[in-house]
Amino acid sequence: MLNSQSIPFFELEDLGEFSLQVEEHWAEAAREQLRRYEEENKGFRLRRALPPAAPFARSGLAACALVVSALTLLAWGDAGGLGWQRLGGSLSEAVRGGELARTLTALTLHADVPHLLSNLLFGALFGYLWFHALGGGIGALAMLLTGVLGNLTNAWIQPAGHFSIGASTAVFGAVGLLCGSEARTRHLLKEHETRRFAPLGGAFVFLLYLGVGEVQSVNNIDVLAHVFGLLWGLILGAGMASLPRARIESHGVQLACALVCVLLLALGWSIALH
């Protein structure tokens, strides 16, 4: 502000306290400008404008829900008599033995209707928030990666014979992506430390509230898959926080990422079923 008024000054620091010093004949003018500045900016708080929805946010979410539902129904009907659940589920020793496609195909399988509906509901909620920020193509690919990495890590931690299915790993990945991206953004904006770490606290509160299940049914819930999905989401989300807006707004980039998702799913199921 003083620079804008061509008032020369020195900024000094003493034991963490800062002061502005001007020559005596500039003192009155500097005080007056500082007074005006404070008066004009009373109650002002810098706010970040929420950007408009990125391309294909809604259509991308709808496509993800349709694909997951369709593959789940095919598995329930055991189309072709191939044993979709058996071949596509994330079986720990099979994954460790090199059947990596299972970490992908397991995301599109569900045990029953409540299992599918719960993942569709929470997937729609957190998926849309993530797609709104990153777009349908980029957002879907990021969620898919968190699910695959979460299942892969889980398979290496769990004992032999552990079997896991469901999109919940990717759903918790979406929570991690949102919170990791927001935490990183607040860090880049040099906000107060409390605000920087608040999204991380929110992510783990959500995990504790919905990710571990009730005591009597915890054995039916793959808690570690949720944990690893969330953790990978935090890591990837933090890395994607500074993604250029031009890339996000590019329809070509979004469609390319969406095509990668489709090809990965097709390849994964092709390998699993053959």
Confidence tier at 200 by pLDDT (50, 70, 90): confident
User: Roughly how many angstroms between the first and final C-alpha of the chain, as a whole number?
Assistant: 70
Tell me the per-residue pLDDT of 23-55, one tens digit each, with 9 for 90 and over.
Answer: 999 999 989 888 888 888 776 665 666 678 899
What is the pLDDT, as a whole number, of residue 218? Answer: 41
Q: What percent of the chain is modeled with pLDDT above 90? A: 63
Q: For 1-13, b where at least 16 C-beta lie within 10 A, e where not — what string? A: ebeeeebeeeeee
What is the pLDDT, as a whole number, of residue 47? Answer: 63
Q: How far apart are CA 145 and CA 223, in angstroms?
A: 18
Four-way CATH pick for 57-273: 3.40.50.850, 3.30.420.610, 1.20.1540.10, 3.30.300.30: 1.20.1540.10
Handedness of CA 70, 79, 273, 84 (dihedral sign): positive
Does residue 212 have a pLDDT over 70?
no
Helices (H), 135-250: 136-157, 168-188, 193-210, 223-240, 245-249
Give the distance from CA 58 to its chain's centroid.
17
Name the pTM for this structure: 0.77
Burial of 22 (0-12, 13-18, 19+ CB in 10 A): middle
Q: CA 201, 174, 126 angle in degrees (round to 5)? A: 90
Handedness of CA 111, 112, 117, 122 (dihedral sign): negative
Tell me the per-residue pLDDT of 147-197, one tens digit each, with 9 for 90 and over.
Answer: 999 999 999 999 989 999 999 999 999 999 999 999 988 888 778 778 888
Q: Where in the chain is the domain with CATH 1.20.1540.10?
A: 57-273
Between 249 and 15, where is the model more confident?
249
Confidence tier at 207 by pLDDT (50, 70, 90): confident
Tell me how far CA of residue 191 lies from CA of 59, 130, 170, 194, 222, in angstroms: 34, 22, 29, 8, 36
Average confidence score pLDDT of the chain:
88
Give the distance from CA 18 to its chain's centroid.
39
Tell me the per-residue pLDDT of 77-108, one tens digit each, with 9 for 90 and over.
Answer: 988 788 899 999 999 999 999 999 999 999 99
Residue in 109, 43, 59 with CA at minimum distance from that of residue 79: 109
Q: What is the dihedral of CA 90, 75, 232, 60, to 10 degrees?
A: 160
The distance between the two most distant Cα atoms of the chain, rounded to a whole number of Å, is 92
